[in-house]
Chains A and B, each alone.
Chain A
C-alpha cells in the first residue's frame, strides 16, 4: 500500500459524496455526467487498489455509517474520529467509514436510529454510558440495547475528584469538611443531569453524606474551564479534560475513582486507599452494530476493531489521555452490558433520577 493509492482512495471516495453538493451549482447535465464519471472512475480505482489479503467471508459493499451518540468535540467524538483516521491511514477497511453525530437527547436519537436500522450491516456506533441510562430514563423511546450486536469494548475512561489549586483543599478529608461547612451551597459542576458526572456526584453525596448544588454544563471541557475560573468549586472530570490545567498548576485531583492508581497521575490516591472501595465508576468506550446482522458481518467488525485496538495510535492515545485499554467482545461484552444496565438502574433509582 503506497501513499499514492491512499491519496487517490481518500480523494476519490470523498468526491463521490461531493457530487451531491456540487449538482446544484453546476446545474448542467453534461458537466454533472462528467463529474459522476470521474468520481466513479476514482471509486473504481479505489476498490481495485485495496488489498485483498485477509479476506473474510463477509465484506462491506458500501460506506459504513459510524454513529456517534454525542456532539462534536467531546470525548466520544474525538475517539470516533481517531478510529476513522486509524482505519483510513492503516487501510483496515476497503470502504470508508463516515462519522455522523446524533447527539439528540443524551443519545436517545442515536439509540432509536440504531434500533430502526435492524439488519443494516453497514452501520456501527460508538457508545457512552448513556447507552445504559438513556433507555431507562426514556422508556417510551422503545429501545432495548440487548438487541444490538455487541462488537468490542475498546477502553474504560476514568473519573477523578478535582478542586482548584488555590482552594487550600489538600485531601479528601479537607474536601468533605469544606463541603459540609458550605451547607448545600457547594457548587459541583458536571455534564447534563442523568449523565455520568451527575451519577458520580450522587455516589459521592451518598457515600459521604454530603449535599451539593449540581450545576450542569454542555461538555466536560466547559466544566473544567469553569473550575479553573473558580465559577464552581469542584468537578469529577476525566483526566483528558483536566490534565492540561493540572500540569499548569491550576487544579488538583484529590482522589481517583478506580481500583488502581493511574499511570499519568501516580501521586493521586484511589478511592479504595482512602477507605471507600465502593466508589469506582468507569465510562466505557465500546462499539456496537445494528440488531440482527449476520455472523459474518459481526466477525468482520470485531476483526476491524481488534486491529484498531492493537494499533500504536490507540495505545498512545489511551496512555496519554489516561484510559484503560480493556478489550471485551461477543458474549462477554453482552454480559458486561447487561450487568451495567442493572448497576445503572440501581444508581438511577438511588439518585432519584428515575
Chain B
C-alpha cells in the first residue's frame, strides 16, 4: 500500500535522537502541566513556544504536539485524584474517576485512564494515517446546522449524567447556559449580563473559573463540613500485585474503550466540536448501553475508560482540521498552528504534498508519543498515589493554593479569583441541596457553541427552522440526540416500576 512507506519513513524521522528526545521531554512536561488544574496544555504550549526555536522545525512541532498529547493524559490525573477537572475535556472523567479514588481504587482508575488513553490515541492515529484526506472532505460538510445538531446530541447526554432527579439536572443546565451568555454577543456585538459594570465580565465567564470554583473550592468546603476538623486520610494502597490486578480488570472495559475511541475521533475531526462533547457522548453511550447503568457515577471503571479514550482520540482528531484546513479544533491546536506558520509551514489542503516529511514525521511521532505517554504515566502512578496519602489538613491548603493560582494564571486578573471563590460557595450550596453540578459546568462550554451555530443557521436560512431536518447529517444527529434523551428516562421509569416490590437500592 502506498501509505506504508511514508509512514515508516515518518516513524524513522520521529525516532531520530533529537526528535525522540523532544517526544519524551514534551510528554513529561505535558503530563505535569495537564495534571495541574488551571495550567492546562494551552498555557504549556504557549509558554514553551519560543524555546522551540532552538531546534529544527520538525523537532519543534513534534515537541509541542507531545506536550499537547501528554497534557491530555495528565488531565485525567487531577480529575481522579482531586476531583477537579483541569480542562473541560476531563469533566466526564471525574464522574466515576473521583468516586473510585474515594473508594480507595485510585490506582485502578489511573491505570484504566492511562491504558484507555493509549488505546484511544493509537486507534485515532491509525484512522488518521489511513483516512486523512477523505475525512478532511467530510469535515468540510459540517456547517452551522450540523454543529448545532451535534451540540443537541451532547446536551441530550446530560439527562443520563445527572442522576435520578431530572428537574434538578435541567435547572443546573439552565443556570450554566445563563452564565454562558455573559460577555460580548458575537452576532450583535452587544455586551450581555455585565454584572455591576465590571469590565472583567466582558470576556465572559471562563470554563476553568467555574470548574475550579465549583469542584476545587466547593469540594474543600464540603469536606471541611463532613470531616469537622478530624484528620482524614484517603485509604489507598499500592503494590505490584494491585497494579497487575488493575490491568486484569481492564477486560470489562474493552467495549467502552473501543466505542469511546471511535466517537472521540469522529468528534475531534469536526472543527467546532472537539474533545469535550466527544468525551461526554462517549460517557453517555457507555452508560446507556451498560448492563447496570445505575453503577455509573459511583465508580464504574467503564465511566473512566469511555471518556478518557474519547478525549485522547479527539485530540489526535483535532489535528486533522488544523493540518488540512488550517482551522484549529481547540485553543491548543491554535497555538500549534501559530508555531507552524512561524516556521513557514502553511497548513491547508496542500500541506501533505508540499511538506510530506513534516506531516509524516508528526504522524510518526504521535505513534511514539502514545507509547511513551502511557509508560511514563504508569510509572508515575505510585507517586500520585503517595500524594493522596497526605492528610486532608495538608492537602486542603495545597489544593486551595493550586486553585487560586490556576484560576489566576490564564487571564492574570483578580476578577477571576473572586469569581472562583464565589462559585466555590455556590458549588458547596448546590452540593448540599443535591443538585448535579456537571451539567452546569458543561453547559458553559457547550452553550456558546450551540447558541452561535443556532443563530448562524437561522440567519443563513432566513429564519426557517426546517434547515436542521432538511440536511441529512444534522437530521441524523438530532435523531440520535432524541434517542439518548429518551432512553434513560424510559429505563428509569421501567426501573421504578420494577422497584415497586422489593426496597430500592438507589
List of A residues within 8 angstroms of B327 by Cβ = 221-222, 224-225
A316 within 8 A of B: yes
Name the distance in Å between A247's Cβ and chain B's nearest Cβ. 6
- Report the separation of the CA atoms of residues A337 and B344 in the bound assembly, to the nearest whole angstrom: 31
Name the distance in Å between B395's Cβ and chain A's nearest Cβ. 9
- Report the separation of the CA atoms of residues A316 and B271 in the bound assembly, to the nearest whole angstrom: 29
Instruction: Determine whether the beta carbon of A228 is less than 8 Å from that of B344.
Output: no
Given contacts A73-B331, A231-B460, contact A248 B143 (CB under 8 A): no
Interface residues of B in 123-147 (CB under 8 A from A): 140-144
Instruction: Determine whether the beta carbon of B326 is less than 8 Å from that of A81.
Output: no
B293 within 8 A of A: no
Interface residues of A in 70-113 (CB under 8 A from B): 71-73, 77-78, 81-82, 84-85, 88-89, 99-100, 102-106, 108-109, 112
Name the distance in Å between A177's Cβ and chain B's nearest Cβ. 21
List of B residues within 8 angstroms of A240 by Cβ = 341
Given contacts A221-B328, A225-B325, A232-B460, contact A78 B47 (CB under 8 A): no
Instruction: Determine whether the beta carbon of A213 is less than 8 Å from that of B401.
Output: no
Stretch at the interface among B106-114, B197-205, B435-443, B497-505: B197-205
Instruction: Determine whether the beta carbon of B348 is less than 8 Å from that of A247.
Output: yes
List of A residues within 8 angstroms of B186 by Cβ = 192-193, 216, 218
B506 within 8 A of A: no
Instruction: Determine whether the beta carbon of B140 is less than 8 Å from that of A225.
Output: yes
Instruction: Determine whether the beta carbon of A102 is less than 8 Å from that of B411.
Output: yes
Interface residues of B in 194-234 (CB under 8 A from A): 197, 199-200, 202-204
Instruction: Determine whether the beta carbon of B338 is less than 8 Å from that of A6.
Output: no
Partner of B54, one of A3, A77, A195: A3
Stretch at the interface among A22-30, A39-47, A270-278, A290-298: A22-30
A325 within 8 A of B: no
Name the distance in Å between A121's Cβ and chain B's nearest Cβ. 18
Instruction: Determine whether the beta carbon of B46 is less than 8 Å from that of A99.
Output: yes
- Report the separation of the CA atoms of residues A40 and B49 in the bound assembly, to the nearest whole angstrom: 22
Instruction: Determine whether the beta carbon of A21 is less than 8 Å from that of B342.
Output: no
Instruction: Determine whether the beta carbon of A85 is less than 8 Å from that of B143.
Output: no
List of B residues within 8 angstroms of A321 by Cβ = 341
List of B residues within 8 angstroms of A193 by Cβ = 186-189
Name the distance in Å between A234's Cβ and chain B's nearest Cβ. 13
Partner of B203, one of A109, A221, A224, A225: A109
Contact residues of B: prevailing secondary structure:
helix
- Report the separation of the CA atoms of residues A231 and B46 in the bound assembly, to the nearest whole angstrom: 32
- Report the separation of the CA atoms of residues A21 and B272 in the bound assembly, to the nearest whole angstrom: 31
Residue on A nearest B49 in the bound complex, by CB: A81
Interface residues of A in 109-137 (CB under 8 A from B): 109, 112, 137
A14 within 8 A of B: yes
List of A residues within 8 angstroms of B344 by Cβ = 316, 320
Name the distance in Å between B51's Cβ and chain A's nearest Cβ. 5
Name the distance in Å between A321's Cβ and chain B's nearest Cβ. 8
Instruction: Determine whether the beta carbon of A105 is less than 8 Å from that of B342.
Output: no
- Report the separation of the CA atoms of residues A88 and B402 in the bound assembly, to the nearest whole angstrom: 30
Instruction: Determine whether the beta carbon of A21 is less than 8 Å from that of B337.
Output: no
User: Range of interface residues on chain A?
Assistant: 35 or more
Instruction: Determine whether the beta carbon of B47 is less than 8 Å from that of A138.
Output: no
Instruction: Determine whether the beta carbon of A244 is less than 8 Å from that of B348.
Output: yes
Residue on B nearest A141 in the bound complex, by CB: B199
B168 within 8 A of A: no
- Report the separation of the CA atoms of residues A89 and B430 in the bound assembly, to the nearest whole angstrom: 51
- Report the separation of the CA atoms of residues A325 and B456 in the bound assembly, to the nearest whole angstrom: 35
Contact residues of A: prevailing secondary structure:
helix
- Report the separation of the CA atoms of residues A187 and B259 in the bound assembly, to the nearest whole angstrom: 38
List of B residues within 8 angstroms of A250 by Cβ = 349
Given contacts A73-B331, A73-B335, A229-B143, contact A194 B409 (CB under 8 A): no
Instruction: Determine whether the beta carbon of A187 is less than 8 Å from that of B460.
Output: yes
B346 within 8 A of A: yes
Given contacts A24-B402, A229-B142, contact A244 B326 (CB under 8 A): yes
Interface residues of B in 297-343 (CB under 8 A from A): 321, 325-328, 331, 334-335, 337-339, 341-342
User: Range of interface residues on chain B?
Assistant: 35 or more
Given contacts A24-B402, A105-B191, A244-B349, contact A10 B39 (CB under 8 A): no
Instruction: Determine whether the beta carbon of A27 is less than 8 Å from that of B342.
Output: no
List of B residues within 8 angstroms of A243 by Cβ = 346, 348
List of A residues within 8 angstroms of B409 by Cβ = 21
Given contacts A72-B335, A78-B338, contact A14 B51 (CB under 8 A): yes
List of A residues within 8 angstroms of B456 by Cβ = 215-217
Given contacts A105-B183, A215-B459, A250-B349, contact A14 B47 (CB under 8 A): yes
- Report the separation of the CA atoms of residues A317 and B343 in the bound assembly, to the nearest whole angstrom: 10
Instruction: Encode B451-473 as 1/0 by CB contact (under 8 A) with A.
Output: 01000100110100000000000
Instruction: Determine whether the beta carbon of B199 is less than 8 Å from that of A108.
Output: yes
Interface residues of A in 151-210 (CB under 8 A from B): 185, 187, 192-195
List of B residues within 8 angstroms of A247 by Cβ = 348, 350
Name the distance in Å between B193's Cβ and chain A's nearest Cβ. 13
- Report the separation of the CA atoms of residues A317 and B43 in the bound assembly, to the nearest whole angstrom: 25
Instruction: Determine whether the beta carbon of A82 is less than 8 Å from that of B342.
Output: yes
Interface residues of A in 271-308 (CB under 8 A from B): none
Instruction: Determine whether the beta carbon of B54 is less than 8 Å from that of A102.
Output: no
B289 within 8 A of A: no
Instruction: Determine whether the beta carbon of A104 is less than 8 Å from that of B271.
Output: no
Interface residues of A in 246-267 (CB under 8 A from B): 247-248, 250
Interface centre among B188, B202, B335, B349 (most CB of A within 10 A): B202
B412 within 8 A of A: yes
A338 within 8 A of B: no
Partner of B412, one of A85, A100, A141, A225: A100
Partner of B187, one of A85, A100, A216, A226: A216
Given contacts A24-B405, A104-B183, A231-B143, contact A244 B346 (CB under 8 A): yes
Ranked nearest first, the 7 interchain pairs of A and B with the lowest CB-CB distance are: A244-B348, A104-B203, A73-B334, A231-B143, A105-B202, A248-B349, A193-B189
* 6 interchain pairs, CB-CB under 8 A: A10-B50, A89-B53, A193-B187, A222-B272, A247-B348, A317-B342
Given contacts A192-B184, A321-B341, 19 further A-B contacts (CB under 8 A): A14-B48, A23-B401, A25-B36, A72-B338, A73-B328, A77-B338, A81-B335, A85-B342, A88-B50, A104-B204, A106-B189, A192-B189, A195-B189, A213-B460, A215-B459, A217-B456, A221-B328, A229-B143, A248-B350
